[in-house]
Structure 1
Amino acid sequence: MNHCPMHTLLDFERFRHGTPRELINRLREEHRILWETDDYSGGHWLLFHQDDIDHVLKTPELFTNSYSPILDDFPAEILAEQQQSMTFMDPPGHRKYRSLVDYAFRLKQLEARKPLMHRIARETVDRVIDRGECEFVNEIAMQMPMRVMFALLGVRDQDFGYVVDLVNTLALADDPEFAENRALGFQASMELIEFGTRLAADHRRNPRDSMTMDVINTAIDGRALGDREFGRFFNNLVVGGLETTRNTLALGLHQLILHPEQYRLLEQDPGLVAGAVEEFLRHQNTVVYLRRTATRDMEYLGQQIGKGDKLVCILGAPNRDPALFPDPDAFDITRPV
């Protein structure tokens, strides 16, 4: 068995000052698969290469998503609830619920709601522009996607703060400075599901033009979507939509500040925005890893994998692989997609 030369790569302290790129690059160069110990269940396997990550993520009969996409093992009663949500599902169930996302964000509806999104973007910037400075993470990177998403979903203004606090609690549950234990994160996730359930019920009583209305009127397997099902969908959507978007905006701006020539390119040619977003995602990869769980004993990449073993895909590792991206550490918004 190959052992990682440290207690754990995924310890929060290793990411306190940013992603440990040099360490991840070295591990990718030296290993296909690697065992390391952790504080969750004794240990897990790490994967760093694109082909291996693709295989694990796309072979659910061998590597299931149903126990959790993160390292935490959920308490049984919470796991039972979460296993009915999209982020804990394997195909074909995942595909059915993923179709709700595709439907909610279909191009025709987004085009119709663009004026709303543009207005929110202008209002968000107008609140700070006269000051000449702002605390970008909270005042722009969080506020803009939050207000856009909540407006699209029909969340009432008075509920914004409550939902954002739950998202932040869930996102920071592993950080010892911000949460006493992981139970707070589990509870926040359940409260988001409850809020989404109430939101669906409110829309049925008081119909209005929103993505929530679109989704609850959509059929799955020939039946109407239940309020609790929408609650789980809401939990997935706001956690994924707010946390990752906030981080991508903030880290992307940071890279533009560090590389003013790239900022000038973007300023001169707004048509580069799509490529810039792709480079933000590649260069900074705000989602560090995804976990899968082995469904049976097997030999994989020369190692004996036991049923129930956790396999952790380090998603950013291929993004800095020179075999896939020329000069991978360079930040280049004109990089071919």
Structure 2
Amino acid sequence: MSECPFANLLNPDTYAKGMPYELLRQLRQAGPVLKMDDPITGVPYWAVVGHKELDYVSKNPALFSSALRSSFPMEHPQDMVDFIFSHTIINMDPPRHQKVRRIVHEAFTPKRVDTYEAAFRVHAKRIIDAVSPRGECEFVEEVAAELPLIAILELLGVPLTDRKQFFEWTNTMIYADDPDMATSEEDGQIAAGECINYALKLAEQHRLNPMNNITGTLLDGDVDGVPISEEDFAWMFILILVGGNESTRTVMSQGMRLLMEHPDQLAYLAANPDKIAAAVDEILRYNTAFTQMRRTATQDIALGGQAIKAGDKVILHYHAVNHDEAVFGDDAMQFDVRRAERMPKLGQQLRSFGIGQHFCIGSHLARLELLVMFEELIPRLRNAQPTGEIEYIRSYFVNGIKKMPIRFDAGL
């Protein structure tokens, strides 16, 4: 296959300085589905950057499998895919996927999640109280990382006294994809092993003293009358932990960055706090937490004017799709917290949580955490601005920020 003229979307260097907005615009202009080379792995792939085409792939799991080579965009040995990744719902196809998802869904229904708001707000106020008097903070660790981690640990039944340990484990697993960090794939596997051991201890505690939380819901569930195995539970525990923690932390950090880069919009929300809920959709649209996922074609098929062959690697680039001018207008590249005011269906059109059978099961939880945190911090951390260089996670999978020192005028 001839070399693609565009930068490799599966090279962490492509994202070393943050999301390459202009590159992604050029890709969309070149076509909704593009044939790409990956010199790093030697495995070519199709990049899906069109909104309509991404929806088609996502809604047709019989044609585009999550299980054959996993839904993760990186390359892994087939035995790892078959014997490890297969235990998590993100890497399952129908009919098993729906059966397992039904169990997890019970813990994340909107009705149940809404009952957490009061507790989330107490935590959010405490988080802001801790940094507000200083007039400065390192936003990612001191603010953005706090509520998502506290929330998911409480829902999993993990004592907050173990919060720091889980913060380090999740960072190690996520940063193992960042060549700039002093972590490796082996370190990530060790951290995952520690999480698994912890999850198995929780399972043992549940047998002795049943818990009414996500852990209890998973362990009490069954598929076709067969209880969820402890091994399946342990891997789902990790998926929920990392997904529920890292994704919201990332969107919160990126959202604050965008608001600081657009001080007029930050001032607008400070003066109109009732508009923050609508602004959350634009924050979610503009910077997805997870940049891209993978599918594997199960048969020859035409998509976006391209001839995809059975077994081909297909990459769903959610970030590129969220800026599709055909859906979001000629100003799709612009950040605008008032976009939802003129696009009432914005929340339905963004693909930050995916679509189809793998639509993020924790989306309502993430939206609630983002709403609560921005409602608490925007009125109190006034005139926020960065005080140093923003450090991004050098990854083509997680669209995260490592460090973002800021200063502000403390509110009441």
Where does structure 2 lack aligned partners over 5 or more consecutive residues? Answer: 347-412
- The residue number in structure 1 matching 2:74 is 72
Once structures 1 and 2 are overlaid, which stretch shifts more, 130-139 or 298-307? 298-307
Q: Please tell me whether the aligned partners of residues 65 and 88 of structure 1 are also in contact (alpha carbons under 8 angstroms).
A: yes
- The answer to whether the Cα contact below 8 Å between 1:78 and 1:186 also exists between their aligned partners in 2 is no
Show the counterpart of 2:171. Answer: 168
- How far residue 163 of structure 1 moved from its aligned partner, in angstroms, is 2.1
Partner of 1:33: 33
2:15 counterpart residue number: 15
Question: Structure 1 residue aligned with 2:332, among 328, 333, 336?
Answer: 328
Give the deviation of 1:28 after TM superposition. Answer: 0.8
Does the CA-based 8 Å contact 2:156-2:215 persist in structure 1? yes
* C-alpha separation in 2, matches of 1:274 and 1:221: 40
Deviates more, 1:92-101 or 1:279-288: 92-101
**Which residue number corresponds to residue 314 of structure 1?**
317
Match of 2:140 in 1: 137
Following TM superposition, by how much is the alpha carbon of 1:77 offset from its aligned partner in structure 2, in angstroms? 4.2
Stretch deviating more after TM superposition (270-279 or 311-320): 270-279
Higher deviation after alignment, 6-15 or 43-52: 6-15
After superposing the two structures, state which structure 1 stretch, 295-304 or 238-247, moved more. Answer: 295-304
1:49 alignment partner in structure 2: 50
CA–CA separation in structure 1 for the residues paired with 2:8 and 2:190 = 26
- 2:85 corresponds to 1:82: yes
Whole-Å separation in 1 of the counterparts to 2:7 and 2:324: 24
Paired residues of 1:44 and 1:309 also in contact (CA < 8 A) = yes
Q: Which runs of 5+ in 1 are unaligned?
A: none
Question: Residues 104 and 217 of structure 2 are in contact (CA less than 8 Å); yes or no, is this contact kept in structure 1?
Answer: no
Counterparts in 2 of 1:77 and 1:161: CA distance versus 1, 3 Å: farther
Contact 2:265 2:336 in 1 (8 A): yes
Please identify, of 244-253 and 67-76, the stretch whose mean Cα deviation from structure 2 is larger.
67-76
1:202 positional shift = 1.8
Task: Look up the equivalent residue of 2:103 and give its one-letter code.
Answer: L
Structure 1 residue 165: Cα displacement: 1.9
With a CA cutoff of 8 Å and minimum separation of 6, indicate the structure with the bigger relative contact order: 2
1:93/1:234 Cα in 2 relative to 1: closer, same or farther (>3 Å)? same
| Percent of aligned positions that are identical | 34
The answer for the alignment partner of 1:234 in structure 2 is 237
Verify the 8 A CA contact 2:103 2:217 in the aligned structure 1. no
Aligned-pair distance for 1:160? 2.0
Could you tell me which residue of structure 2 aligns to residue 214 of structure 1? 217
3-state SS in 1 of match to 2:333:
coil
Give the letter aligned to residue 149 of structure 2. M
Moved more, 288-297 or 204-213: 204-213
Whole-Å Cα distance in 2 between the matches of residues 179 and 303 of structure 1? Answer: 41
Query: How many pairs were matched up?
Result: 337
- Would you identify which runs of 4 or more consecutive aligned residues in structure 1 move more than 6 Å? none
* 2:140 is aligned with 1:148: no
Query: What is the distance in 2 between the residues matched to 1:197 and 1:232?
Result: 10
Alignment match, 2:385: none
